[in-house]
Amino acid sequence: MEFEAWWLLIIPLLFSLGWFAARLENRDNKSRQGQLPASYFKGVNFLLSEQPDKAIDAFLEVASVDTNTVELHFALANLFRKKGEIDRAIRVHQFLTSREQIQGADRERATYELGVDFLRAGILDRAENAFCSLANTDLKAEAARQLLELYELEKAWDRAIEQAHILRQFGAEVPVGDIAHFYCELASQELEAGKAEQARQHLENALETEPSSVRASLMLGEIYFAQGAFEEAIDQWRNAERQNPWYLPLVGPKMWEAYVRLDRRQAGFAAIQDYCRKYPSIDLLLVLVKAAEDLQGASAAFELLRDEVRSRPSLLGLDKLLEHQLKGGMDDDRGQDLRLTRELIAKHTQRLERYRCQSCGFQARKFYWQCPGCASWDSIVPRRAEELDFYPVS
């Protein structure tokens, strides 16, 4: 292969081209760095120095210069919200919604996030306005779900029902059981206002929406009971047994009273005794003990309670057993010892007789259909905490 002299010219030419390209790239990098305003670096410095107030002001100044930093502001606002600093998150999102140079999609997103901020802060009217303004945007489904949560907080159950149907039209999953609860809440409001017929209509709507709504059946039974229609009340509660028998303790005392009003004590005692055998519950057991005392006397009631506590030991049952045993007015040393024992057990059972949410662990003495802790429906089982620990129910 022969060597030609002009090849010597190629080497310096290639070297010159490489050097020129490197200079261009370096100049472009410096140009891009120069586009970042000093406020951006000041904001980062403030964050590192744990001065969030000054940092947010600096970053807001960045957005007034360069709209390419919008994602930075969304990230900052979400960080503030997670830390519980809702007022700062509101400031960021309000700034984004007010900037004319921000694109429509980012503005809608900022409006949605601002609505979430208001909702978390409890400013419900402004949250509602923010979500309603997104009805004709790509975020309409997400806004509708937030509106549903908002109406639940406001206890605006008629609007919650409407919003739930809108969500279902969007293809979102809204349990029909939740909608049935909304109707039941409306029925409760009507009952408080003394409007039994309107309440009945809401409960029928609940059963039409969700035929297995045990709450609607229990409430219908209570309406019949209040009106003196005791046979109809018992029928409704038996229907609740077919839907979910573990909720029977909620109406056990009224069920026994309905049998008493009908002068069918033996039938009532047999029915409650059957329930206790099939669906053991300390609350149903106490109803059965009362029924036994009414029918057969205090001695028979005590024997029944003792046998049940022996077969299903529990501190709650033992506490009630000691309470019955002390009704006889024991004044000797043995009675004093029993009183002391019962006092100690009673203090311990205060936390065991609470209802517990199966989703978040919230506990309360009162039964709730919607957990006050996590707002879940039907997550609280109508059985005491001790019973769930020792005798779990699916």
Q: Which residues are bridge partners to 377 per DSSP?
A: 370
Helix (H, G, I), strand (E, B) or coil at 380: strand
Cα 263 to Cα 281: distance, rounded to the nearest angstrom = 25
Identify which of 316, 314, 317 has the alpha carbon closest to the alpha carbon of residue 304.
Answer: 317
Sign of the C-alpha dihedral computed for residues 375, 378, 383 and 387 taken in this order: negative
Neighbours of 207 (CB within 10 A): 19
| Identity of the residue numbered 189 | Q
List C-alpha distances in Å: 383 to 38, 247, 358: 62, 8, 11
**Which DSSP category does 363 fall into?**
E
Do residues 367 and 355 lie in contact, with contact meaning Cβ atoms separated by under 8 Å?
yes
**Could you tell me the two tokens for 92?**
């960021």
List the end-to-end C-alpha distance of the chain, in Å, as a whole number: 89
Identify the DSSP state of 16.
H
Residue 106 tokens read as 């980012």
User: Does the annotation flag 371 for ligand binding?
Assistant: yes
Please check if 276 is assigned to a binding site.
no
The residues with which 269 forms a beta bridge, in sequence order, are none
Q: Interhelix angle for 70-82 vs 86-98, to 10°?
A: 160
The answer to whether the beta carbons of residues 137 and 108 sit under 8 Å apart is: yes
Cα 253 vs. chain centroid, distance in angstroms?
29
Specify the DSSP class assigned to residue 352: T
Q: Is 184 annotated as a binding residue?
A: no
Q: Is 132 annotated as a binding residue?
A: no
CA dist 202 and 306 (Å) reads 43
Q: Residue 38, Cα to own-chain centre: how many angstroms?
A: 45
Which segments are annotated as binding site?
357, 360, 371, 374
Which segments are annotated as binding site for Fe cation?
357, 360, 371, 374
